[in-house]
Structure 1
Amino acid sequence: MLRLWYEQPASRWEECVALGNGRLGAMPDGGVLKENITLNDITLWSGGKQDADSPEAAKYLPAIRQLLFEGKNDEAQDLMYKSFVCKGAGSGQGNGAKVPYGSYEVLGNLHLDYNYGVDAVSAKPSKYMREFSLEEAIARTSYTLDGTVYTREYFTSFDTDVLIIRLTADKLKKINIALSIDRPEQFKTALVGDELQMSGQLENGTNGKGMQYITRIKIKSEGGKLTAGKGTLQVKDANAVTIYLAASTDYRNSDFMNQSTKNLASAMRRKYSAAKLAHVQKYQQLFNRAKLSLGSDDKKSLPTDKRLVAFTADSNDPGLAALYYQFGRYLLICSTRPGLLPPNLQGLWANTINTPWNGDYHLNINIQMNHWPLNVTNLPMLNEPFYSLVANIVEPGTKTAKVYYNAEGWVAHVITNVWGYTSPGEHPSWGSFNTGSAWLCQMLWTHYIYTQDKTYLSKIYTILKGSAEFYLATLVKDPDTGWLVTAPSNSPENTFILPSGKMANVCVAPTMDNQLIRALFGYVIQASGELNTDEALRKKLQEAVQKLPPNQIGKDGRLMEWLQEYTEPDPEHRHVSHLWALYPGNEITPEKTPDLAKAARASLEKRGDQGTGWSLAWKINLWARLHDGERAYKTLQRFFRPTSVQGFDMQSGGGTYANLFCAHPPFQIDGNFGTTAGISEMLLQSHNGYVEFLPATPSLWKDGSFSGWCVPGAEVSAVWHNMIVSQVNIYAVADTKLTIKMPAQVSKAEVLQKGKYVPVQTSGDFFNITLKKGETTTIRFQ
């Protein structure tokens, strides 16, 4: 059974289990006398649409570029601060709840006060357990108090789209509760008959008329008496109680008030057992698509918080990685839904008005990392919200491209939100990064590579094309090298030292830019060929690709992060942006570019084994791509380090909170998703044009199996013992021809054809399998 479990109530939000159904979220703390359940709605944002483009910006671009080409990066950065940033408050320096940029906000807090009819302080509960089932998406709390066993179940229904809480006891008339709801600001509560409501309107940064929301709560009491008054619902002497909470916002939903009413009524018409079963069945349609076993799971008898502590002393706990892999898939399933929004910096879950960094979408890795597990872990249907977010910023991004660069196409800089923000940030040291939009396109393209869906390719082509047209229009010739370069730009959030001794961030053509643009141009070249369109553009891109700066190796053997070999004030910086071409890109590989792979390894060594949570997650994937399973596992062990650090403390190093949320710190969900992707990358790779099993598997994972994992065009399953793959199953999701690398320590492969195994024809260490969509085959290795 895949579960998180604890022997005590949560003492802080980062210890609460996270429930979600793609829109509605809840985090109960399991308190005995008083319980708080933090509520979320993925669409609840302050702020609103705005024009943050600075209208005079483009006229300063030539001067900025000239200063950069003269090596006066610090002066260029100063000029940009005055002329080439957003208009207005921007993101509010990450505190945007009251400015037009806005913030993702907590929906509210549901309070349950329990009365046991005894002195519960002196009559302490026994046999307390708080658990969460990943296989059911249901949380439970149970304990014994004064001889009575109390049980609670909680789930955010994948069926009726409401939060349902069930309170029971093994004796009659033992349920006594008082229920209330609030949030830190901008709310009012009302009782309408036996329905408790909380409603309000958030700030939009201009006239106060921002997003509206509503929550509705009703209770079914079995026995006992239900009363309403003074902003509470109260139940006395009940045998069992079921609480229903519906919520809605007016984000793209003018009928939100009626929608919440309908959801609540629909849920309450069903028996609890039927509602629970329908929820589990619909959830499992997604969750059960992929599985992983890593052999031993004997540490599951430890509570999750104690299991993390034990792992730091003895990392021989393969089951923890398998649990975490599925936890990442669970978080993705539960924090997005087609037709709504992709997971933000905290997925679905937040507990404040101003979520850290506004809980927005950072384009310099975070929103991309949130989707790294999407295809390989077989959740392709969850790509739609990401696609829609990108599609919705093309129009404002087209205006931004014209205003700042006088360029065709579209661009988004380092941050965006649900309102379509595409302007630079408020400081050029980080806000001038503009190849995040190219990275968004890489994620769209990756989804096509996995699905081979030509209809989808036609849909994303104009987005890819518009992004390529922007970079084609803004690349300029470097006077020293003749290369086509980006200017201005920066290597995300990193600083370098100029020969003058001054420090700067803004630069010409950081390595990441060149890698991203080279990849983007390649996608459009391939897509335009497959779609038989834009031949003239294709030729221009083919010519431009040859003129982009190549990856360079510095005198110290490291892959260079900038066009010049600057000194870094922070050699262990959390970002490893110049290694993008190793992962998630595929330009650098040990097989095809061994010298560059060696330089990438040297860069990783210099960065060190520390880092914030998401940085450690990225490093797991990078070490996996270098086929170093032991180093990837060492980084995973570092990532699992239990932490209780709260607030913004990037110097303490990342880790994992007791509820398995990633500690940046504070909580950022990208580390959860990145680590799930990293575990996948250690066991299965396909970026090199062929499928490779166990490419970076640590010795502690000597036995295992996975099923339902994806490679381009197919789902694959594998079984291995003592690090030797014995059998693979392949199911084609499209007409496909797969090249498969012979696994280590095997010399023979047989494929099942018409009920018989026949030897495959190998070429070196490789062989090919051709399948029609819907076909399945089995391969045995000896």
Structure 2
Amino acid sequence: MRQICLACLFVLTPSSPGTLLAAEDRLVLKYDAPGIDDLLAESDSAASRLGYMQTALPLGNGRLGAMFSGGINQEHLLINEITLWMNAKRGLGDVAQSGTRPGAFRNLDTVRAAYREGKYGRGPDSMEALSTKHLSSVEPLGNYAPFADLLISSDHDPAAVRRYRRSLDARTGVGRVSYRIGDAEFEREYFCSHPADVVAVRYTAKGAKLNLRIAVTTQHRVTRLDSSNTRITLVAECPMAKDDVAFMQAVYVDATDGKATPLSDGSLAVAEATAITIFLAGYSDYLPIYPTFKGRDFAADCEQTLSAAVAQGYDALRTAHTADVSALMDRCRLTLDHQPSGLTTDRLLAAGGGIELEELYFNYARYLQVCCSRDAPAPSNLQGIWNADLSPAWNCDYHTDINVQMNYWMVNPANLPGSFRPFVEWAKVLAESGRHTARETFGVSKGWCMGVNGNVYGFTAQNPHGRRHQQAAHWIAQNLFEHYAYSQDQAYLAEVYPILKGAAEFFIEFLAPWKDGSLVVYPTWSPENAYLVGQHGRLNKQAYGASWDQQLLLNLFIDCIEASTVLDRDQEFRETLRGLIPKLCPQKTGKHGQLQEWPEDWDDPKDKHRHISHLIALHPGRDISPLTTEELAEAALVTMSHRGDRSTGWSSGWKTCFWARLHNGAKAHQLYRFLTAQRAYPNLFDYHPPFQIDGNFGGAAGVCEMLLQSHLRSINSSSPDIRRAAFVAYAQDAANPSHFLPIAPDDALARAPYILHLLPALPPAWTGGKVTGLRARGGFEVDLEWGQGELTHATIRSLNGGAFRIFYEGTLSEVIAVEQGESFVWPLSN
């Protein structure tokens, strides 16, 4: 292996804006047949709904979502709006809106006594039964709901169609359908504009005329449906357990040279046209204001939005839309060396995938992120923004035991930081609501907490099942601080600091001593796993001091120490955290050599559970690394070998990240290939089953981790040995070598440069390629090129000015300081 002096091989150059790349086939999903489009026909069934979600192609602007099936005799556009939920409650009092059980804290010690006495299982005096009886919420969570539908019917005979093509350009966010009937050519375009906040559709014909019937429908109660020569207006109410949600979908139709006729059923007929343009706007009455969550003038917003879109016209809207999406998509791009096959996307999948699909999947994941999370009032959910079902799987909600967090792992490294804003706004609501849950459920006077399921109405209470209790504020807070780590934006850090501090304050008061006197979290669980299954059954899940909780607590406390230092506030709070950290329950290795999932050595080597939550310090945390904590990394390897390779989509995405952090590029690639080739539907939505979008985002995060890692900090800038240079959060206990004690940092950590590890887990199959625009912690953008499996060129651009160190092939560079706007260029030579 070549040894390279990294300290001197660089030059400084002014940064320059990224070059816009021409639209390429590499970023296009393409098909030669329509998707399933009979969702609302008489044959509608669960199978047909699933079929639509697996084959229709997605559009979105972060708030408004759409899917098009490309049907010939009927085009079905499914419309979603990120705030539309049903079967929940809103407008309650401050405490009630949180969903918490008032006064539950009076029985907390009764529940905790069952833990201390080891009352496992599901008996009437068990941990689970008492938790359900005394602490669980009885309020409805509800579910994410479909919004409305746009149906466009023609008189075209599918049997007469030739040269059918359906595509989605992930670089521009434009969908297309084209086909021929006889000598006539028919084309369509679709996009969902963020600048204009509308869905836009254009039908054109050459050598024939268009005769269409355009209808709007919804699965909810309609209060108004009417049409005119240019408009269809739908007003409806989505059912809630309290205070139904009103919403409106308004459609503008320009028949160009055709004749438009409103029909009595509220639809619109267009005859003898050569071009038809459709704009669609839709809003609910939701506002993210706790506890009312109401007040938007949705009707006025629909009118204003449509009027503005009509005034601009289709061509101007399309130009603005493609410029908007391509600017985001061009920030980061993966290009792998391969010969394009020319296969349609579904055939590429059927052929078993490969490098071509792996490249497309990553770039497409970034497109999906652009579509379902931007500046909307709520973050992406289990299905991003797309849902056709009144009773979707897992409520299409916000699961805080990994899923909503995984949705946002890739936004920073894949250079879409603006997509994180909805998560921030949601966290503010949770912190406000969670104060009531902390007080009423757990008797904690400061801070906030969050259960395992959330909605858009501030639900923070404990899950109705006692076995699924958790306090998830620490994992929410991890995402919030990571966003700062990448941007180094102190104004943002000041904005979220009260949320971070509140999460820590809750645990300061909530932690309790266990058998050995160390502080642990309980009641809790290790999502979503069971222990002592032979004695107590597969639902024996409630526990104490689960490793994931303890790892996240250390992560949270260290983040709060750094944030407090950077912002120069709350020194007493910092010292409190520093005093608590050594008292936390240590991480432990067990009798099989594994990293223990619980404080007790309960792990079963035959356990293949999809959740591996006790490796959270490996990823997305930063406190286990083969470079700095070899013993813990070896224990993580044992755990990974026990759990096996294949699982659900999101789990495969997480395992890709784990193996990348363990610097095993071949294994990371094996999981990523499984995810892309065997856990993807024809439209490349993640196959859980059914669809969950976190697999798409987790897989993309795994690609970022294979190519660049920046989670380690150089606390000792003079050492060339990375183990001595990097901050280490766990130290082996000399008196008990199977225990690893938490370490509190001093203020110097806040000034420590990040270590940029280049190509830490490059897959051997990816022999050549490049990636542009990856982001690294510390405020840097990184371009990498490689050939024959070795790095050939690296450019590191400084967004804010700062220092970093590079680690590559076992060599750690000196500290490199770069001014804002300058670049570090590393040309390798033999």
How far apart are 1:684 and its partner, in Å?
Answer: 0.8
Q: Do the aligned residues in 1 keep the contact of 2:447 with 2:505 (CA within 8 Å)?
A: yes
CA distance in 1, matches of 2:369, 2:537: 43
* Equivalent residue, structure 1, for 2:367: 330
Instruction: Report the counterpart of residue 83 of structure 1 in structure 2.
Output: 134
Question: Could you tell me which of 720, 723, 727 is aligned with 2:793?
Answer: 727
Distance 2:531 2:605 in 1: 6
CA-to-partner distance for each residue in 1:383-416, whole Å, 9 max, x for gaps?
Answer: 2111110011112111111111111211011111
Give the partner amino acid of 2:636: A
- Normalising by structure 2, we get a TM-score of 0.85
Residue 34 (structure 1) aligned with residue 34 (structure 2): no
Aligned-residue identity in percent = 34
Contact 2:605–2:643 under 8 Å retained in 1: no
1:73 offset after TM fit, Å? 2.8
Output one character per residue of 1:740-781: Cα deviation in whole Å (capped at 9) or x when no partner.
Answer: 01347xxxxxxxxxxxxxxxxxxx532332112222231111
Counterparts of 2:340 and 2:824 in 1: how far apart (Å)? 33
Choose the corresponding residue for 1:769, options 804, 816, 827: 816
- 2:608 aligned with 1:583: no
Q: CA deviation at 1:241?
A: 0.9
Which residue of 1 is the match for residue 802 of structure 2?
Answer: 736
Residue 706 of structure 1 aligns with which residue?
Answer: 771
CA distance in 2, matches of 1:387, 1:565: 37
Partner AA of 1:528 in structure 2? S
Find the partner of 1:298 among 312, 330, 340. Answer: 340
- Structure 1 Cα separation of the partners of residues 61 and 772 of structure 2: 24
| Partner-residue secondary structure (3-state), 2:255 | strand
Alpha-carbon distance change, 557 to 666 in structure 1, aligned in 2, over 3 angstroms: same
- Paired with 1:234 and 1:228, the residues of 2 have a C-alpha distance of 6
Amino acid at match of 1:294: L
1:39-54 correspondence to structure 2 within 5 Å:
39-46=79-86, 47-49=88-90, 50=92, 51=96, 52-54=99-101
Is this contact kept in 2: 1:297–1:320, CA < 8 A?
A: no
The amino acid across from 1:272 in the alignment is Y
Instruction: Give how far 1:266 is off.
Output: 1.5
> Which of the numbers 397, 421, 436 marks the counterpart of 2:434?
397
Q: 1:224 deviation in Å?
A: 2.2
Structure 2: how far apart are the matches of 1:586 and 1:530?
A: 20
Match of 2:269 in 1: 234
* CA distance 1:518–1:247, change in 2 (3 Å): same
CA contact (8 A) 2:31 2:344 kept: yes
Counterpart code for 1:728: A
Q: Which residue of 2 aligns with 1:310?
A: 351
Change (3 A) 1:265 1:366: same
Aligned to 1:353: 390
Contact 2:593 2:635 in 1 (8 A): yes
Deviation of the 1:658 alpha carbon: 0.5
Say whether the 8 Å CA contact 1:321–1:679 is kept in structure 2.
no
Summarize the Cα distance change of 1:297–1:277 in structure 2 as closer, same or farther, 3 Å threshold.
farther
User: What's the C-alpha RMSD, in Å, of the aligned pairs?
Assistant: 1.6
TM (normalized to structure 1)?
0.90
8 Å CA contact 2:564, 2:570 repeated in 1: yes
What code does the residue aligned with 1:3 have? V
Once the two structures are TM-superposed, the CA of residue 64 in structure 1 deviates from its matched residue by 1.9
Write the letter of the residue equivalent to 2:671.
Answer: T
Please state how far the C-alpha of 1:718 moved relative to its aligned partner: 1.2
- 2:820 paired with 1:779: no
Shift of 1:158: 2.4
Equivalent of residue 429 in structure 1, options 467, 474, 495: 467
Q: Do residues 664 (structure 1) and 698 (structure 2) align?
A: no
Matched, 1:696 2:696: no
Equivalent residue in structure 1 for 2:200, among 141, 156, 164:
164
Partner of 1:482: 517
1:411 aligns with 2:458: no
Letter in 1 for 2:348: R
2:57 match: secondary structure: coil
Contact 2:229–2:268 under 8 Å retained in 1: no
Contact map agreement 2:605 2:642 (CA 8 A) in 1: no
Instruction: Please give the per-residue CA displacement for 1:280-305, whole angstroms capped at 9, x wherever unaligned.
Output: 11222222111111111413x11101
* Structure 1 match to 2:301: 259
Structure possessing the higher relative contact order (Cα contacts under 8 Å, 6 or more residues apart): 2
Give the Cα–Cα distance (whole angstroms) in 1 for the partners of residues 109 and 675 of structure 2: 44
Q: Which runs of 5+ in 1 are unaligned?
A: 91-100, 643-654, 745-763
Distance in 2, Cα, partners of 1:550 & 1:356: 37
Residues 268-320 of structure 1 show CA distances to partners (whole Å, capped at 9, x for unaligned) of 22342222111111222222111111111413x111011012125xxxx3232
User: Does the residue aligned with 1:739 lie in a helix, a strand or coil?
Assistant: strand
Supply the AA of the counterpart residue of 1:718.
L
Whichever residue aligns with residue 135 of structure 1, its letter is R
Structure 1 counterpart of 2:784? 718
In the alignment, residue 32 of structure 2 is paired with which amino acid? E
1:56 to 103, 107, 130: 103
Return the offset for 1:501.
Answer: 4.4
CA distance in 1, matches of 2:153, 2:533: 61
Q: 1:232-260 CA deviation, whole Å, 9 max, x = no partner?
A: 11111111111111111111252221111
Contact 1:248–1:260 under 8 Å retained in 2:
yes
SS at match of 1:156: strand
Q: Is the 8 A contact 1:620 1:678 kept in 2?
A: yes
Moved over 3 A (4+): 498-503, 567-570
CA–CA distance in structure 1, aligned partners of residues 410 and 374 of structure 2: 15
Report the alpha carbon displacement of residue 499 of structure 1 after superposing the two structures with TM: 8.3
The separation in 2 between residues aligned to 1:137 and 1:291, in whole angstroms, is: 15
Establish whether residue 219 from structure 1 lines up as the match of residue 214 from structure 2.
no
- Cα distance, 1:506 vs structure 2: 0.8
Structure 1 residues 469, 609: CA separation in 2 closer, same or farther (over 3 Å shift)?
A: same
Could you list the runs of 5+ residues in structure 2 that have no partner in the other structure? 1-23, 37-50, 288-294, 714-754
Q: How does 1:594-613 map to 2 (within 5 A)?
A: 594-613=630-649
> What letter matches 2:101 in structure 1?
S
Q: After superposition, what is the alpha-carbon deviation per residue over 1:472-525, rounded to whole angstroms, capped at 9, x for unaligned? A: 1011111x2111011111001211117854552111100001000011011111
Distance 2:75 2:690 in 1: 23
1:466 corresponds to which residue? 502
- Match 2:379 to one of 321, 330, 342: 342
What code does the residue aligned with 2:317 have?
Answer: A
For each residue in 1:316-342, what CA deviation from the matched residue of structure 2 results, as whole angstroms up to 9, or x when unmatched? x32322211111111111112225221
Q: Structure 1 residue 463: deviation in Å?
A: 0.9
**Residues 436-455 of structure 1: pairs in structure 2 closer than 5 A:** 436-455=472-491
Equivalent position SS for 1:558: coil
Pick closer, same or farther for the CA change 1:347–1:501 going to 2, 3 Å.
closer
Instruction: Give the secondary-structure state (helix, strand or coil) at the position aligned to 1:218.
Output: strand
**Structure 1 residue 419 displacement after superposition:** 0.5
Measured in 1, the distance between the counterparts of 2:62 and 2:229 equals 30
Question: 1 CA distance for matches of 2:808 and 2:532?
Answer: 47
Match of 1:148 in 2: 184
Equivalence map 1:134-213=2 (5 Å): 134-172=170-208, 174-187=209-222, 188-192=224-228, 194-206=230-242, 209-213=243-247
Task: Give, as a single letter, the amino acid of the residue that structure 1 aligns with 2:262.
Answer: A
Q: Are the aligned partners of 1:311 and 1:640 in contact in 2 as well (CA < 8 Å)?
A: no
Question: Structure 1, residues 172-223: CA drift from partner, whole Å, max 9, x if none?
Answer: 4x211111111223224222553111111112203xx321111111211122
> Counterpart of 1:237 in 2: which secondary structure?
strand
Q: Which moved more, 1:317-326 or 1:387-396?
A: 317-326
Q: Deviations over 1:628-680 (max 9, x none)?
A: 111111111211234xxxxxxxxxxxx11110000111111111111111111
Give the counterpart letter for 2:361 in structure 1: Y
